[in-house]
Structure 1
Amino acid sequence: MSFRAISARNLRVLRQQPLAEISGSLGDLGTFLPITIALAVNNTISLSSTLVFSGIANILTGLFFGIPLPVQPMKAIAAVAMANVFTNGEIAAAGIFVAACIFVFSVTGLLRWFSDAVPIPVVKGIQVGAGLSLIISAGTTMRTNLGWTDPSWADNRVWAILAFLFLLATNYYRNLPYALIVLPVGLVFAVILAAQHHDLPAFLLWIPALTVPVGGDWQVGVVQAGIGQLPLTTLNSVIAVTHLASDLLPDVQTPSITSIGVSVALMNLVSCWFGAMPVCHGSGGLAAQYRFGARSGSSIIFLGGLKLLIGLFFGNTLIGLLQRFPFALLGIMIIAAGLELASVGESLNTTGARDLGNNHPGILGERTQEIGPVLTEEDRKKRFTVMFVTIGFLVGFKNDAVGFIAGVLCHYSFRLPAVVHKLRERRRDGRIQLQSN
């Protein structure tokens, strides 16, 4: 799709459903805000630089891809950085290392080859596992930190229940802009709490400052965080998000694996040198923005402009306000994103799975509409088993790479009897001869 065609579609969708696009643009903030705040409070990243560069990335992503592709934190790096209180140089080194690797994988074609080689049930398992991980993480945090009346009148289980009930209502009233209603309510609560503590934002112009990792930063950043992030970025932020875009937006041209990989690489090869948080295009963020109404690039162009303006003129003075944003509301938004992402597993054995669309004949329903591929019960069970093995190991070990390896091994274990049978046939036909001494 040409740049002109993408721009025309962005404008057309925005005119048709402006509230849905704006609401959808805010859908991924449930993941973006907590991680960004935690790293900024520790002075591991610059909040100003993160808002400015992620805003620019949002705008360019919307313009060139034309879908609500998110710009969200690299979670493995963020988790290690928070646990070990990384310095600016250490987290920058981790982000630059991952970006450089993804760039090499993209331009050499290794990323595309790897994507083609990964079985679809494993991809579905990674998507569903990521969705369940979001739900478990949000639920655990809410159960631990929220009481019926604490930590404050604005952030407690009562508000979480009300937010969840409102979320359920949107299953029927699909036109309700959930995020556009919930986030302003949370922002009002945060402003009241920040005012009580005299911690409101103030005008502060962003001044770029270089962050140059030194020798020790590279060793800590790459070994402790970068290596662990690499499989997560490859599997969830490039391969899984590309498949998810095809599932959620089948009528829109899906960005190629290579273009997504190059985008992830370039974002971080520029922004990490200025103290910004390492970012990627996660499938959870795409599911969140889609769930709350986003259908085009116009949604994230709006979000990018908002981030850019706030980062340029308020930046680090926002930390106190954002810290007081009710997690009761953010947590429900994260759960909604997880549910949307996990729901894609339903299409594993239907024509929604791209490895079945052309290779298997379909069952014709009324009006000759194809309603599903012909698979034996054994084939269906095997594909479900591979997906659930991937999900189980991913969630159980909290590691995408472990889930991926387990799923691939399970997938090829089902093919082993056929391989052994073929070798026996070749040996019987004399095409394989065993030499004896």
Structure 2
Amino acid sequence: MELRSRLQAVAKHNLRTLRDAPLAELSGSLGDLGTLLPLMIALSIGGSIDLASTLVFSGLANILTGAFFGVPLPVQPMKAIAAVAISQKFSKEETAAAGLIVSFAVLLLSVTGLLHWLHRVVPVPVVKGIQVGAGLSLAISAGTSLIQPLGWHTPALDNRLLAIAAFILLILTTLFPRVPYALSIFLLGLLLAATQPSKTTTGHHSALWHPHPFVPSKSTWLPAALSASLPQLPLTTLNSILAVTSLSASLFPTFPPPPSTTSLGLSVALSNILGCWFGAMSVCHGSGGLAGQYAFGARSGASIIVLGSVKLLLGLFAGEAVVPVLQRFPKSLLGVMVLAAGVELAKVGREVSVPAEDLWARAEREFGNGEDREGREEKRARVEREGRERWMVMLVTAAGCLAFKNDAVGFVAGLGWHYGLVLKGWVEGRRRVRLERREEEGEGLLRERE
């Protein structure tokens, strides 16, 4: 009964939000396309995934996710697997094996409750650091991979001038937040892509989806696990589950209730366990996609239900025919969308500690006007020190993620820095206790002598 009540409440929330702000929801649904399109296109052209199956199963995942959680959780590629598959030219079997290994591991962590335990023991600054690292990584990728290789005037419909114009429009939308920026940029990109002649003759044609399930051969599992699944697993558990839980609670503090780590883990696992057998791309949720969709106006699950419905229809009735159009989508526009999503994600770092003014006000309330000034100053100093320490933990985590391009390294670095500070505080506390005891013993001896 509790599940039924939740689904009914989420459905009402989705319909109400879509009715009140349809353009914002539609625009927000496109906020993660800057991450999805480049990887999906590259994987499909390289033969590492089946595009039609990817659209069908990721579309279904969008619809079910929006209906169950009620927040604009993205369904995006598993980036580590996608990067390895593209660079090493994985076959569909190898890509599927890598995704299935990660999914079964996440499923095990979810049903055993270990994900919930991780959520309790991982410090908030470490999670925020992973989010900041992911956001900055998106912004760097937008500049180096999408915009920087472009010329100033060539190609005629995809150059740096177009990127600058899109960025100026992004700045203007901060003054007019109800303008559907992502929707406008996406439609413009489709128009520009449609006007350009196709550069490839790959023989794609429109047809109904014909699923072709398969089982990866024995020889594909071990190489896929070592080269792709191993780096993807910490990225999925940290950025796609723990960080998403934290970010959802920050963006939607009242309703709907933030998704639990267990439910997110089950969602990621089941999405791939169903789709990878058909050559679908390995997908997960991600804090970067959530931030991007929120930045472009999404406030409910209705946004990704709309997106999922479009993807499902494209997969069923267009299939591989959409590849040539997506391949010609201007990189300049994609780059600005990725940049905006990265900045939005990195902004969560400002919440890692409470502003000093708020901390001081809290200290005043706790001590009251009757307390001595020395006590209030000591309280202020302590809370300010704690704030600085949380910032350092977050920055060390983000730096580790960026320097080594691996969330696991950033996680270990941030966790080590955090517990190093905890150990330092414990040592200083013990030393303070010993000094106080010595002072008390000295005062006792003086009194005895007197």
Identify whether the pair has TM-score above 0.5, normalized to the shorter chain: yes
Aligned-partner Cα distance in 2 for 1:143–1:321: 19
Report what 1:370 is aligned to: none
Any conservation in 1 of the 2:206–2:320 contact (CA below 8 Å)?
no
Report what 2:333 is aligned to: 329
Any conservation in 1 of the 2:130–2:410 contact (CA below 8 Å)?
yes
Bigger mean CA deviation after superposition, 317-326 or 62-71: 317-326
Report the TM-score when normalising by structure 1: 0.90
Matched, 1:236 2:243: no
Aligned-partner Cα distance in 2 for 1:362–1:304: 48
Matched, 1:223 2:226: yes
CA drift at 1:362: 7.0
- Match 1:95 to one of 92, 99, 105: 99
Report what 1:297 is aligned to: 301
Matched, 1:401 2:408: yes
Aligned-partner Cα distance in 2 for 1:196–1:89: 28
Report what 1:434 is aligned to: none
Report what 1:411 is aligned to: 418
Aligned-partner Cα distance in 2 for 1:35–1:343: 25
- Match 2:354 to one of 350, 356, 361: 350
Q: CA RMSD in A?
A: 2.2
- Equivalent residue runs for 1:75-224 within 5 Å: 75-150=79-154, 152-194=155-197, 202-224=205-227
Any conservation in 2 of the 1:27–1:333 contact (CA below 8 Å)?
yes
Matched, 1:56 2:57: no
Bigger mean CA deviation after superposition, 198-207 or 14-23: 198-207
- Equivalent residue runs for 1:257-272 within 5 Å: 257-272=261-276
Matched, 1:388 2:391: no
Residue 247 and residue 322 in structure 1: after superposition, are their counterparts in 2 closer, same or farther (change >3 A)?
Answer: same
Aligned-partner Cα distance in 2 for 1:14–1:114: 35
- The residue type equivalent to 1:215 in the other structure is K
Report what 1:275 is aligned to: 279
- Match 1:338 to one of 342, 345, 349: 342
CA drift at 1:183: 0.5
Report what 1:247 is aligned to: 250
1:23-82 per-position Cα deviation (integer Å, ceiling 9, x unaligned)? 000111110000000000100000000000000000000000000000000000001111
Aligned-partner Cα distance in 2 for 1:230–1:281: 13
- The residue type equivalent to 1:178 in the other structure is Y
Any conservation in 2 of the 1:205–1:315 contact (CA below 8 Å)?
yes
- The residue type equivalent to 1:176 in the other structure is V
- Match 2:36 to one of 10, 26, 32: 32
- The residue type equivalent to 1:271 in the other structure is G
Aligned-partner Cα distance in 2 for 1:276–1:20: 29
Matched, 1:316 2:320: yes
Residue 363 and residue 202 in structure 1: after superposition, are their counterparts in 2 closer, same or farther (change >3 A)?
Answer: farther
Residue 237 and residue 118 in structure 1: after superposition, are their counterparts in 2 closer, same or farther (change >3 A)?
Answer: same
Matched, 1:285 2:292: no
CA drift at 1:211: 2.7
CA drift at 1:196: 8.3
Q: Secondary structure at the match of 2:297?
A: coil
Aligned-partner Cα distance in 1 for 2:174–2:419: 39
Aligned-partner Cα distance in 2 for 1:12–1:275: 36
Any conservation in 2 of the 1:58–1:301 contact (CA below 8 Å)?
yes
Aligned-partner Cα distance in 1 for 2:226–2:415: 25
CA drift at 1:422: 6.2
- The residue type equivalent to 2:251 in the other structure is L
Any conservation in 2 of the 1:194–1:321 contact (CA below 8 Å)?
no
Q: Secondary structure at the match of 1:376?
A: helix
Report the TM-score when normalising by structure 2: 0.88
Any conservation in 2 of the 1:149–1:157 contact (CA below 8 Å)?
yes
Aligned-partner Cα distance in 1 for 2:147–2:300: 35
CA drift at 1:145: 1.9
Q: Specify every segment of 5 or more residues in structure 1 that has no aligned partner in the other structure, as ranges.
A: 365-372, 430-437
Report what 2:386 is aligned to: 379
Higher radius of gyration, 1 or 2: 2
Any conservation in 1 of the 2:31–2:295 contact (CA below 8 Å)?
yes
